[in-house]
Structure 1
Amino acid sequence: MLGLRPTTAGPAEATDDPLTAPDATRAVETVLERILDAHLSQARDVDPVYARDVAGRVAALVRRGGKRLRTAFAWCGWRAAGGSGDGGAVLRTGAALELLQACALIHDDVMDGSPMRRGAPSVHVDLAAMHRASRMAGSPEAFATSAAVLAGDLALAWADDLLTETALGTPHGPRLLHEWRAMRQEMVAGQYRDLHAQATGSFGADEALAIATLKSALYTVERPLALGAALAGADAYTVDALRSAGRCAGLAFQLRDDLLGAFGEPARTGKPVGEDLRSRKPTYLLAVGLGLADAAGDEEAVAVLSPAGAGRDEAAVERMRAALERTGARSVVESKIDELAGTALRTFERTGADDTVRWEFALLVERASGPAPRTAEGVR
């Protein structure tokens, strides 16, 4: 673990750099506003109906925010690799990541049938409501699914345009594009593996971790860190350390998200709780629960947690929660999160980043995964 303490002045005052990672998450809002305003203006020039119904909903989802963790990790990677001075390219890269996240959320909500996102109706649900209110012909659900796919595609186009423009304006553009292209492919692979596992109904803990890595850990932490490092011209050793630390932190983030999806509160998550359990989504939490139930001969828990388990109502979800508690699966996942977070912090030290940047990374890992284990030096 890090063994760091914050200075009296705090990390923001302990560096000559213009922004810290928390500052960057605020600064990217200004960048996003400017970009979204420009895209909405262009959309209105193309077609007012498309601008209102599709582009407007993409912009609204992005503006509703989220933690902006990807921006913060990109900034942290840039600073860990020695980046300083004008960080405009890093902020634009962060904005591109936020737009890419909007694409992923819109499409993911369609595939999962999720009704809410960031405290509001998900895009496809909102479009279905518009269809009904306007008394359009045809099926509201079919219309909304098709329109939401287009909305997600638009978010991806905006993200790609912004990242390409940023790459063209920096001497490190080829490296930036290499990381970006790899990340997009990993996201698609992870989403497909998720669908494949649900369709086959056969998965274990190792497969669940592989899906979580591809679908979330890489593009949430590892690739943003590497994108930031690329903009600083980082050497191979530093990039390797950042990727290793980022993969562990990203997995911890996803496992925390799995726990929140099962045991959290909608007011905190911005989406319904229990949806992953109801759909028997192949999460690490569910795989661990099934494995423990089988090893203990707990036939009731096996029946409740299995992909073919009966019931999709709230009572069934409650039985699944009870089984995850009874088998010890929830505790196992909590321990795994702590282990991954601790490994991420130790690995990050290999970058040689100064204490301020290391402290910021530790805070980001805590934001992403929940409180990290407390060390003898008091760092979390």
Structure 2
Amino acid sequence: MTSARPVDQFAAPAGLDDVPDSVGGVLSDFFDRVIPHAAAIDPVVGEAATMLREFTMNGGKRIRPTLLYAGWRCGVSEVGRSPAPGDGDNPAEALRAGAAIELIQACALIHDDIIDRSDTRRGRPTIHRAVETAHTDAAWSGDPSAFGMAGAILIGDLALSWADDLFHGVGVAEELPAGALRRGAARRAGAVWAAMRTEVLGGQILDIVNESRGNESVSAAYRVMEFKTAAYTVARPLELGATLAGGSPALINALRSVGHDLGIAFQLCDDLLGVFGDPEQTGKPSGDDLVAGKRTALIAVGLNRAGAATGGELRGLIGRELSTDELVRARSILVDVGAVADMEQRIDRLDERAQATIAALNVDGSVRSELSALGHRLGHRQR
């Protein structure tokens, strides 16, 4: 493995806005270490690992590691905190855990793009399309499309495997403080980590089953959101950071509540972006959720509010390629039946409840203020 900076030499971010760059540095260091090992197996394995690196390092807002670091800062600054010996006062541990979540996210996105048959991600070809193109360019035998999907599945699996390695310190353990991986806070954080992995995969299973069943209920859409997004994107990262810092059960419970509300608001906003989003901002085609046939809360509310004729028309505009006129019509139905207004009202209520919980947190005022601002941004992204 190549030499790189010890994990504890990554400077603590000055504020939450600096976390994405700091996590990017941890990821870059990790890839420097593990890609040569992959390439030693065979150059094509190294090329696949490099493709994963480029995908992971290309854009992304690093929301999950930022929330994890916010949770860690809450834990460290908790009023009356009495940390056990070795509890997580080292910001490098929080940055490393945040970088590991980014690898889980890479896996989830790569596999999601296969499931959704997406061609682009963040303005570039999705991994399965890029692997398909490499097959075609090399004039290899077999079906390029099948090869692309198989290669992308394996690259996603590699990301998930490396996420565990990074979280548990494999490949960096020689540079961690003695006993860091055995202390109580790390063991408790490991349990949160394991639960988070199961929840995000469980949410993905629910998602594809709901689509295949054609389940149009709002409750089914919320069940997917609870596990695929709310827990994984917001609640578990906040909990994980606070747990690493040795935060109290009361603080962890409050952050879990904040995370649930903000996570649902985040997904409702994402549902709006999936239908009304600007491709220049989202990096995905306009109306992508409609084409993919996703049974989001927005679609479920729209179908439940529409009458028989309009509901049937909207149903006919879900799960297939749409012309510009058809996309405009689908959007107008969702607006006219009040589904969009319903989503926006729900987002506002969830944000207000989360903000009230944040205001009551028994932590440093500056930390509370940063978390409040970050939380508000999660549910109010521009369409």
Question: What TM-score range do you get, normalising by the shorter chain?
Answer: 0.7 to 0.9
Please say if residues 292 and 327 of structure 1, whose CA atoms lie closer than 8 Å, have aligned partners that are also in contact: yes
- Give secondary structure in 2 for the equivalent of 1:359: helix
Q: CA deviation at 1:308?
A: 8.2
Q: Distance in 2 between matches of 1:277 and 1:106?
A: 19
Task: Please point out which of 329, 334, 351 is paired with 2:339.
Answer: 329
2:316 aligned with 1:312: no
Query: Could you say which residue in structure 2 is the equivalent of 1:159?
Result: 163
Q: Flag the 1:359–1:341 CA change in 2: closer, same or farther, 3 A.
A: same
Q: State the structure with bigger RCO (CA 8 A, min sep 6), 1 or 2.
A: 1
Which residue does the alignment assign to 2:60?
Answer: 66
Does structure 1 residue 48 correspond to structure 2 residue 43?
yes
C-alpha spacing 1:273/1:18, structure 2 compared with 1 (3 Å): closer
- Take 1:103 and 1:350, find their aligned partners in 2: how far apart are those partners? 36
Q: Are 2:361 and 1:357 aligned?
A: no
**Residue identity opposite 2:114 in structure 1:** V
Residue 234 of structure 1 aligns to a residue whose secondary structure is coil
Q: How does 1:12-91 map onto structure 2 within 5 Å?
A: 19-52=14-47, 54-82=48-76, 85-91=89-95
Count of residue correspondences: 351
Q: Contact 2:291 / 2:318 at 8 angstroms: preserved in 1? A: no
SS in 1 for 2:76: coil
- Give the equivalent residue in structure 1 for 2:126: 122
8 A contact 1:238–1:350 mirrored in 2: no
Asked if 1 retains the 8 angstrom alpha-carbon contact of 2:294 and 2:319, the reply is no
Cα distance in 2 for residues equivalent to 1:69 and 1:108: 18
Query: What is the match of residue 189 of structure 1?
Result: 202
Q: 1:256, 1:370 within 8 Å by CA — same for their partners in 2? A: yes
2-structure distance, mates of 1:279, 1:103: 19
Paired with 2:189 and 2:367, the residues of 1 have a C-alpha distance of 21
| Cα distance in 1, alignment partners of residues 132 and 379 from structure 2 | 34
Partners in 1 of 2:114 and 2:337 — Cα distance? 32
Amino acid at match of 1:49: V
Whole-Å separation in 2 of the counterparts to 1:303 and 1:312: 17
Corresponding position of 2:281? 268
CA distance in 2, matches of 1:130, 1:364: 40
**Structure 1 length normalisation: TM-score?**
0.88
Displacement, 1:260?
A: 0.8
Deviation of 1:363 after TM superposition, in Å, equals: 1.9
User: 2:371 is paired with a residue of what secondary structure?
Assistant: helix
The answer to whether the 8 Å contact 2:361/2:368 transfers is no
- 1:211-247 CA-to-partner distances (Å, cap 9, x unmatched) read 1111111111100001100111111111100000001
CA distance in 2, matches of 1:371, 1:302: 28
Matched position secondary structure for 2:60: coil
Alpha-carbon distance in structure 1 between the residues aligned to 2:26 and 2:182: 16
Distance in 2 between the 1:96 and 1:106 partners?
Answer: 16
CA distance in 1, matches of 2:58, 2:113: 16
1:30 & 1:308 partners in 2: Cα distance? 43
Distance 1:67 1:218 in 2: 18
In 1: Cα distance, 2:318 partner to 2:65 partner: 39
5+ long unaligned stretches in structure 2:
1-11, 78-87, 174-179
Q: What are the within-5 Å matches in structure 2 for residues 238-253 of structure 1?
A: 238-253=251-266
- What code does the residue aligned with 1:51 have? G
Aligned pair partner of 2:215 in 169, 192, 202: 202
For the Cα contact (< 8 Å) 2:305–2:339, is it kept in 1? yes
**Letter paired with 1:263:** F
1:140 equivalent to 2:151? Answer no
Over the aligned positions, Cα root-mean-square deviation in angstroms equals: 1.9
Q: Give 1:362's aligned amino acid.
A: S
- Bigger CA drift: 341-350 or 204-213? 341-350
Residue pairs, 1:209-220, within 5 angstroms = 209-220=222-233
Q: CA deviation at 1:317?
A: 2.7
> 1:325 Cα shift?
1.0
Q: Which amino acid aligns with 2:149?
A: T
Cα deviations across residues 119-175 of structure 1 (Å, max 9, x unaligned)? 211100111111111111111111011110000000001101111128716541111
Displacement of 1:310: 8.3
On the 8 A contact 1:69/1:364 being kept in 2, the answer is no
Cα deviation for residue 309 of structure 1 reads 5.6
CA distance in 2 between partners of 1:212 and 1:275 (Å): 18
Distance in structure 2 (CA, Å) of the matches to 1:98 and 1:152: 12
SS class of match (1:81)? helix
Q: Does structure 1 conserve the Cα–Cα contact (< 8 Å) formed by 2:291 and 2:319?
A: no
Amino acid at match of 2:347: I
- TM-score (normalizing by structure 2): 0.87
Q: Which runs of 5+ in 1 are unaligned?
A: 1-16, 373-380
| One-letter amino acid of the structure 2 residue matched with residue 33 of structure 1 | S
**Letter matched to residue 39 of structure 1:** V
- State the one-letter code of the partner of 1:129: T
**Aligned residue number for residue 12 of structure 1:** none
Question: Could you say which residue in structure 1 is the equivalent of 2:107?
Answer: 103
